[in-house]
Structure 1
């Protein structure tokens, strides 16, 4: 594994910010622009896991030339322009060492770059299929795409080793920037897979890179800045794995992972990581039936997040607090927190918004508010917000569409609209071919129990029969 000290062959170039790309982003936040990139990719049949961090790296000049998938997407988004028109360096100028250690090549792939994108020998040509640095052919990534059955199993296999060494010799090596990048990419990949497929089937595989990340922390890093990246990345990875445990019903495991992330944040004074850990802890406490703990954790998250300058983050944390108050049947406390969440959301996006918050838009705001009203027993208001959430959700977030629709089905059933509830429930069942989430299946089971006395209503019998034939969730 190459360390960051292995630079004798060629010194690092000073970064040149891509001001053109930044101007093209305009007033959109990095997360919003990343969502546009993903949408454009789907329009032309490409699959890219663009997020706010990738956009930031492009604008900072870290990615001098995008890989070919991103090139096609960018040229589709801005027809008539070339890569150089978008502020990138020509491929013919992006040259360097004739070879790099395999771990560095994996790190480049993990960071969404083609090996020719940074200091690689291909020049203006596409990669040679037999070249050992071709990221599509490298042994490490080939092992990541293991065979399996079902969309989620196949997706989970893509987690793979992620360029993080887990053998015994790793303990004797100090981590460099390539290892830190691989940890960060593990976080992105888990979030992307969860958005598309849900947590079931992903959790066990996601635990492997987490163990490797903490092994890297134990081994130490070559530079202080790399150590800080590793701590932050490992903490975010712990939260991501904790969320998979949470969403698949493993509450004790989730609590442990969130506590691990919180401890990491406290050791390094990372307020952003601390706020994220408390945010997820509040959500878990609400789902686990500990509403008072949910309120306390959400308030602690707000104290940690206040100096970060992100109204959207504070909005989400206010919603976490509202969920706790709803669980305590405190309607006044819940309404006050909801009003605060809406006001903060209305301030708009900012560059201070954390990367992990890319899911938080109008749809999530409506979905979380629906959950609060549902907990308080106001089914009509809950169903109104849940319906709004399903209409607003970006198609990229398949899991959230299933979640909001399941919430809608349950609220309609409890509000005395069995036919509409059955229609929504059938849509969720269709989505479960792609999304596997024990949480969503538990919600559907509750809806089915409410609808049992209404089998003669339109669509209810079909929903109940299909739900009864549903296989029990597999925990992978």
Structure 2
């Protein structure tokens, strides 16, 4: 006799079946307090699940680049988080904040994959979700991302304006010192692009001060981590644009020293910034060596940003193509650029 037969009360071989169990006594209706507690527990579990997924995806993103993960995150947003937003259960503000964070992460992955217009759409939606949650810190976090993207899209005035709007949001917020430092750094990058050297350096100083006071602070939930390596990366880019090559080199070396382990993409950006500075100071051999280091990991990074920066290094090296080492490196870049994407084989 199968288990299903017992559970359904059926029997075989015409033998009498098991007796029907006595009906359980009718349960009293659940009190509003019990229902509320159950809803809160369900909501908490949902937010915890989104947080765990977000952390796992962002860890993988640092190692492999956004191109490998973007479709997965986009699908997660549409099939898992989207339906929850249509019928929020429990703490709606917490759910909208979590959704804003994952949407923002999708924007970064689209940006890393070279789809800046798509990234802008994600950041726009993340901003609206954070606003719906009335979460000033999350709004400011998205402002920092939008400021970065505006700078990348050659809109420095917007980059400065958006960063300043974010700073207004966190002026009285707790747990936001690292975010404040990030917003000052984003403002500095926009100012550097505008050629406003004095104000840019002052903004970098403000970022450094904010970060130095964040060691004993517990950061607010969901905001992006911003540390000494991230600030050094921004400072190196700003100072190189302003023509302070010695300062840019110093900060780029700090990035490389701090970005080890799983921070593959961040380390590559630091190496490329330093390599560009070295070309400008005439140290071609060192620049080519760094270029080779990045070219070695580039195929495993689904990062259009890394490829673009690598090609930019090639562009500044091209006037020196008569040098054998430079020519060899440029040939390698041509090979990488012309490499066809292999279609995966069927499993059978």
State the TM-score, normalized to the length of structure 1: 0.59
Query: What is the distance in 2 between the residues matched to 1:350 and 1:433?
Result: 39
Query: What is the distance in 2 between the residues matched to 1:436 and 1:448?
Result: 19
Query: What is the distance in 1 between the residues matched to 2:261 and 2:227?
Result: 13
Please give the residue correspondences for 1:452-471 in structure 2 after superposition, counting only pairs within 5 Å: 452-457=318-323, 459-471=325-337
2:69 aligns with 202
1:216 aligns with 84
Describe the SS at the equivalent of 1:210.
helix
Find 1:269's aligned residue among 121, 134, 152.
134
Per-residue CA deviations over 1:101-158 (Å, capped at 9, x if unaligned) read: xxxxxxxxxxxxxxxxxxxxxxxxxxxxxxxxxxxxxxxxxxxxxxxxxxxxxxxxxx
2:22 aligns with none
Query: What is the distance in 2 between the residues matched to 1:464 and 1:295?
Result: 36
The offset of 1:209, in angstroms, is: 0.9
Query: What is the distance in 1 between the residues matched to 2:253 and 2:221?
Result: 27
Query: What is the distance in 2 between the residues matched to 1:202 and 1:416?
Result: 39
Describe the SS at the equivalent of 2:300.
coil
1:336/1:366 CA distance change after superposition, 3 Å = same
Describe the SS at the equivalent of 2:243.
coil
2:168 aligns with 303
Please give the residue correspondences for 1:242-253 in structure 2 after superposition, counting only pairs within 5 Å: 242-253=107-118
Per-residue CA deviations over 1:308-361 (Å, capped at 9, x if unaligned) read: 233222111100100010111111110110111111222232444245566422
Query: What is the distance in 2 between the residues matched to 1:456 and 1:354?
Result: 53
Tell me how many residue pairs correspond in the alignment: 302
For the pair 1:366 / 2:241, whether they are aligned, the reply is no
Per-residue CA deviations over 1:52-72 (Å, capped at 9, x if unaligned) read: xxxxxxxxxxxxxxxxxxxxx
Give the stretch that moved more between structures: 212-221 or 316-325.
212-221
1:26 aligns with none
2:104 aligns with 239
Structure 2 unaligned regions, length at least 5: 1-29, 342-348
Describe the SS at the equivalent of 1:467.
helix
Please give the residue correspondences for 1:377-456 in structure 2 after superposition, counting only pairs within 5 Å: 377-456=243-322
For the pair 1:260 / 2:125, whether they are aligned, the reply is yes
State the TM-score, normalized to the length of structure 2: 0.80
For the pair 1:346 / 2:212, whether they are aligned, the reply is yes
Q: Which has the higher contact order (CA 8 A, sep 6+)?
A: 2
**Contact 1:196–1:396 (8 Å) recurs in 2:** yes
Query: What is the distance in 2 between the residues matched to 1:390 and 1:431?
Result: 15
Describe the SS at the equivalent of 2:94.
helix
Structure having the higher helix fraction is 2
Query: What is the distance in 2 between the residues matched to 1:255 and 1:472?
Result: 29
1:413/1:303 CA distance change after superposition, 3 Å = same
2:14 aligns with none
Per-residue CA deviations over 1:174-216 (Å, capped at 9, x if unaligned) read: x744333332223212211111111122212211111131221
Describe the SS at the equivalent of 2:336.
coil
Query: What is the distance in 2 between the residues matched to 1:390 and 1:384?
Result: 10
**Contact 1:318–1:338 (8 Å) recurs in 2:** yes
Describe the SS at the equivalent of 1:211.
helix
Query: What is the distance in 2 between the residues matched to 1:315 and 1:339?
Result: 9
Give the stretch that moved more between structures: 317-326 or 429-438.
429-438
Query: What is the distance in 2 between the residues matched to 1:210 and 1:350?
Result: 34
1:356/1:191 CA distance change after superposition, 3 Å = farther
1:231/1:356 CA distance change after superposition, 3 Å = closer
**Contact 1:319–1:337 (8 Å) recurs in 2:** yes
The offset of 1:447, in angstroms, is: 0.8
Structure 1 unaligned regions, length at least 5: 1-6, 15-174
Describe the SS at the equivalent of 2:185.
helix
Query: What is the distance in 2 between the residues matched to 1:312 and 1:176?
Result: 28
The offset of 1:458, in angstroms, is: 6.4
Larger Rg: 2
1:283 aligns with 148
1:336/1:465 CA distance change after superposition, 3 Å = same
1:317/1:472 CA distance change after superposition, 3 Å = farther
**Contact 2:141–2:179 (8 Å) recurs in 1:** no
